[in-house]
Chains A and B, each alone.
Chain A
């Protein structure tokens, strides 16, 4: 009897130990997230002790490393948004058409080959993309656009767009394939061609999924660092002209993190402020996509 009892007790203790280990593993990831946010916020608070929030939002210059320091985050933001817009302008049409082709026209055999190939685009190291932008796309663009600087947002944005094509195409295709066959049949039975059916019925039905695919791609593009650090230049410049060279939020962080800036100084803290701004931006995107998705879902409820 006692033997059985101790055996049970031992087993229970062992299970409890395992349980708490698993719990710990789960908590670590939460803790890391919380810690990151804490560090970002704490350093940013320290930053705002010496720089007014109004200046941070409204100043048209970003020169933390200069004698005459200015801290206008809008400068970095403008470059990030411009670059992202270029990327989306590339990825949305290309990725969208690929998704339509794969979902509505390609035979299963072609789809089975094309999809993994496309996803390879996402597996290319971003450093390779960065050099591809700088050494191949930029010279090509300079041939087409005379006077284009060697570092520019356009080239970085285009290559970033190529990088996120699989995000757009793969998730959009999943959404389109989830559209019930009955809707396609209904459209075809009305005398619509396959393309008319794809554009007129399948794409609107899959709008929620396509929108969320794009938002995911956008937040991925915003956080992309290597391509812009290599190909877009390091000059902080306010403006939305993609043919200029400019530093984005991420490329600024790289630039400072690699340089020899005093720890604890205000210039050092700008890195955390830029990081916080970037995080808020992606967070907003995700919330916006969620709201959008809910609205689409409610509209398509039968």
Chain B
């Protein structure tokens, strides 16, 4: 498996950047949550953020779609560049809504809207002012197929989203995120609330999605990071301690601390 992985990495060693975090520091009021973070995000790759609780990985993830703007009292310095257009996502001049239109997010707990399965997926399209029933039908089906949910729900598109099982709800949330053709999808511990079968479905889905979108995933589960990601950043106390391809991080980490965390001796 490791050999396969190496080959895949070698074949796919395209270093094209989708995004780059530079000197990012983040503060909740006075308290510093991220310190001088630097991180490249490769296009069409899965980047995993790992580290013990409170290390800032979710805070970093939520910078990508400006979720922090929803709450007062936050402050950040540094840059988060998005390519190819090379804009700073964190800039005051950039509209957070425009950012979220391009970068979707899947949350820790499945959070379908109190609407039908169909309307959940169509939500982002409707927000963007799309009205044509034909286009909506097509995009909803496409998104549900991409999220490997179509076959299970095609006969009950009008059922409430909350009537699905937990794993299905999470795939519904993934379909919702995919429906608007985002360039990046952020996953915040997407399987934390799911059973092992549903977890493995979601992991497989994430691996497949890589061909069309760039993915950043926060996970507590080291095996998960090893299974689904191409690159891994190990974070501790608001800093990126080590970043590299997932194989490097998991097989021959450079830092003693990373190794301790990965082997379970710490964290």
Q: Which of A107, A196, A205, A302 has the most CB of B within 10 A?
A: A302
Which listed residue, A107, A182, A187, A299, touches B109 by the CB 8 Å rule?
A182
Q: Is the CB of A204 within 8 A of B114?
A: yes
Which listed residue, A182, A190, A201, touches B114 by the CB 8 Å rule?
A201
List residues of B (15-72) whose CB comes within 8 Å of A's CBs. 65, 67, 70, 72
Residues of A within 8 A of B11 (CB): none
In the assembled complex, A191 has its CB within 8 A of some CB on chain B: yes
Interface residue tally of chain B, by bracket?
A: 20 to 34
In the assembled complex, B180 has its CB within 8 A of some CB on chain A: yes
Q: Is the CB of B113 within 8 A of A187?
A: yes
Which listed residue, A188, A200, A299, A301, touches B70 by the CB 8 Å rule?
A188
A182-B111, A205-B114 as given contacts; A189 in contact with B105, CB under 8 Å: yes
In the assembled complex, B252 has its CB within 8 A of some CB on chain A: no
Convert A250-291 into 0s and 1s, putting 1 for each residue whose CB lies closer than 8 angstroms to a CB of B. 000000000000000000000000000000000000000000
A183-B113, A205-B114 as given contacts; A189 in contact with B127, CB under 8 Å: no
In the assembled complex, A184 has its CB within 8 A of some CB on chain B: yes
A182-B109, A204-B114, A299-B114 as given contacts; A190 in contact with B160, CB under 8 Å: no
Convert B92-108 into 0s and 1s, putting 1 for each residue whose CB lies closer than 8 angstroms to a CB of A. 00000110110011010
In the assembled complex, B176 has its CB within 8 A of some CB on chain A: yes
Q: Is the CB of A196 within 8 A of B127?
A: yes
Q: Is the CB of A200 within 8 A of B123?
A: yes
Q: Is the CB of B67 within 8 A of A191?
A: no
Give B165 Cβ to nearest chain A Cβ, in Å: 11
In the assembled complex, B154 has its CB within 8 A of some CB on chain A: no
Q: Is the CB of A189 within 8 A of B67?
A: yes
Give A187 Cβ to nearest chain B Cβ, in Å: 7
List residues of A (179-217) whose CB comes within 8 Å of B's CBs. 180, 182-193, 196, 200-201, 204-205, 207
Cα–Cα, bound, A183→B176 (Å): 13
Cα–Cα, bound, A217→B70 (Å): 33
Residues of A within 8 A of B126 (CB): 200
Q: Is the CB of B124 within 8 A of A190?
A: yes
The residue of chain B having its C-beta at the shortest distance from the C-beta of A184 within the complex is B70
Residues of A within 8 A of B127 (CB): 190-192, 196, 200
In the assembled complex, B162 has its CB within 8 A of some CB on chain A: yes
Residues of B within 8 A of A185 (CB): 67, 70, 107, 111
List residues of B (227-258) whose CB comes within 8 Å of A's CBs. none
In the assembled complex, B133 has its CB within 8 A of some CB on chain A: no
In the assembled complex, A300 has its CB within 8 A of some CB on chain B: yes
Residues of A within 8 A of B72 (CB): 107
Q: Which of A189, A200, A205, A300 has the most CB of B within 10 A?
A: A189
Give A297 Cβ to nearest chain B Cβ, in Å: 11
Query: Contact residues of A with B, CB < 8 Å?
Result: 107, 180, 182-193, 196, 200-201, 204-205, 207, 299-302
9 A-B pairs (CB sep. < 8 Å): A107-B72, A184-B70, A185-B111, A186-B113, A189-B177, A192-B127, A204-B115, A299-B114, A299-B160
- 8 cross-chain pairs, A with B, having the tightest CB-CB distances, nearest first: A191-B101, A189-B105, A190-B124, A191-B100, A182-B111, A186-B111, A192-B127, A205-B114
